Amino acid sequence: MFLELKNTAIGYKTPLIKGVETSLDLGDICLLIGNNGVGKTTLIKSILHQISTLKGEIILGDKNIKNLSNKQIAEQIAVVFSKAPIPSNFTMIDLISLGKYIHYPYYFELNSADKEEVDEIIENLNLRQYRNFSLNQLSDGNLQKAFIGRALAQNSPMIILDEPTTHLDEENKIIILKLLRKLAKNQNKCILFSSHDWRLSKEFADKMWFIHNEKLEAGITEDILLKHDELLNPQLFHIDKEFIPPHIFAPSLEKEMLYSFLQKNFSKNLSAYKFEWKGTFWLISNHNFQQNCDSFADISRLIKNLH
Ligand SMILES: Nc1ncnc2c1ncn2[C@@H]1O[C@H](COP(=O)(O)OP(=O)(O)OP(=O)(O)O)[C@@H](O)[C@H]1O
């Protein structure tokens, strides 16, 4: 086991997460999810020993993190926080090269192998054309990638990323997630990353840590998701109190679409109606009528006529 949490409680004065009992190995890629404020960043800070655990132990390698210096932890774990301060007067290549300086005093000149590695990282992140841009000239997405590049240059066995795909468009999200998976599988790194964009992220993570009800539930991604269908089912938001939905019999996507369409357009009680999705059309009925509709435009006309 590379990282182990033993009966750990995590938080500030009072615990946010209790009884954490889990571990990660080298080669694992693990997605950390949970609602805003459940303690994901706090957990990451605890693993880095930036804050102390309230109870229990965190073991890194085979050592309790309490007995490791900041430098020793940085040799084991590179970290990318979503709200990192931007060093002024740095170019992108300077920032990425900084990852190498964890291994040297600051006045050292990087050797050619280090420089080649930095170039390779820039290439893998599709950042070549920006290598000499100053950081404040980069878009948010490219800046995010440059911080990820710095963590890669650190060459540590573990990388922790807090929301690495924020600010990135779909294409760049996939580049980053693919790269993280490749690092775990080809270079045997242990990767832990949090994401609110977990539907895409889950395609790349083998394991999942799901924080809810002050507990951390750990397991294979698909096992956790199947146990919690509230995560998979699209949420039907009840925003309009006047709106009472009809009985809807449809796959989850069609159900969600119908629900949001009706709620936005009809502030009424539709509970007397039944809407059934028949594959290519909706069958709409109540106790004294029945009608087919091919589209939401059709449904709209029908309901306007009925009321
Ligand atoms: N230094 C601190 N002292 C006390 N409480 C704090 C401190 N930092 C954060 N908190 C509180 O701890 C709780 C968890 O915060 P944390 O940032 O870990 O959540 P999170 O799951 O990462 O949320 P998000 O998804 O919004 O980033 C929040 O209620 C936050 O206000």
Domain containing 145 — which CATH number?
3.40.50.300
Residue 10 contacts residue 22 (beta carbons within 8 Å) = no
Whether residue 277 lies inside any domain: the answer is: yes
Residue 16 Cβ < 6 Å to ligand 1: yes
- Look up the pTM and report it: 0.81
Whether residue 301 lies inside any domain: the answer is: yes
Whether residue 11 lies inside any domain: the answer is: no
Is there a single domain that holds both residue 202 and residue 251?
A: no
Is there a single domain that holds both residue 39 and residue 175?
A: yes
Whether residue 261 lies inside any domain: the answer is: yes
- Nearest-CA residue for ligand 1 atom 9 is 42
Contacts of 294 (CB under 8 A, 6+ apart): 280, 281, 282
Is there a single domain that holds both residue 33 and residue 181?
A: yes
Out of 179, 208, 237, a domain closes at 208
Residue 161 Cβ < 6 Å to ligand 1: no
Burial code (b: 16+ CB inside 10 Å, e: under 16) for 140-149 equals: ebbbbbbbbb
DSSP string over 11-47: ESSSEEEEEEEEEE-TT-EEEEE--TTSSHHHHHHHH
pLDDT of the residue at 197: 84
pLDDT of the residue at 204: 92
pLDDT of the residue at 39: 95
Residue 112 is which amino acid? S
pLDDT of the residue at 105: 66
Closest CA relative to residue 195, chosen from 231, 237, 234, 245 = 231
Is there a single domain that holds both residue 110 and residue 199?
A: yes
Whether residue 8 lies inside any domain: the answer is: no
The domain of 177 spans 26-48+70-208
Stretches where the chain sits below pLDDT 70 are 103-107
Is there a single domain that holds both residue 203 and residue 252?
A: no
Whether residue 123 lies inside any domain: the answer is: yes
Is there a single domain that holds both residue 80 and residue 192?
A: yes
Is there a single domain that holds both residue 191 and residue 252?
A: no
- Of how many residues is the chain composed? 307
Is there a single domain that holds both residue 279 and residue 203?
A: no
pLDDT of the residue at 237: 83
Is there a single domain that holds both residue 108 and residue 255?
A: no
Is there a single domain that holds both residue 76 and residue 204?
A: yes
- Nearest-CA residue for ligand 1 atom 25 is 36
- Nearest-CA residue for ligand 1 atom 26 is 36
pLDDT of the residue at 104: 67
**Cα distance between residue 119 and residue 124, in whole Å:** 9
Burial code (b: 16+ CB inside 10 Å, e: under 16) for 32-58 equals: bbbeeebbbbbbbbbbbbeeebbeeeb
Residue 21 contacts residue 7 (beta carbons within 8 Å) = yes
Span from the CA of 37 to the centroid of ligand 1 (angstroms): 5
pLDDT of the residue at 77: 95
Give the number of other Cβ atoms within 10 Å of residue 238's Cβ. Answer: 11
Whether residue 268 lies inside any domain: the answer is: yes
Rounding to the nearest 10 degrees, give the CA dihedral for residues 27, 162, 170, 133. Answer: -100
Is there a single domain that holds both residue 32 and residue 111?
A: yes
ipTM for the whole complex: 0.96
Whether residue 242 lies inside any domain: the answer is: no
Out of 208, 228, 260, a domain closes at 208
pLDDT of the residue at 71: 87
- Minimum-distance ligand 1 atom for the alpha carbon of 44: 18
Residue 17 Cβ < 6 Å to ligand 1: no
- Minimum-distance ligand 1 atom for the alpha carbon of 38: 21
Span from the CA of 218 to the centroid of ligand 1 (angstroms): 20
Residue 12 Cβ < 6 Å to ligand 1: yes
How many structural domains are present in the chain? 2
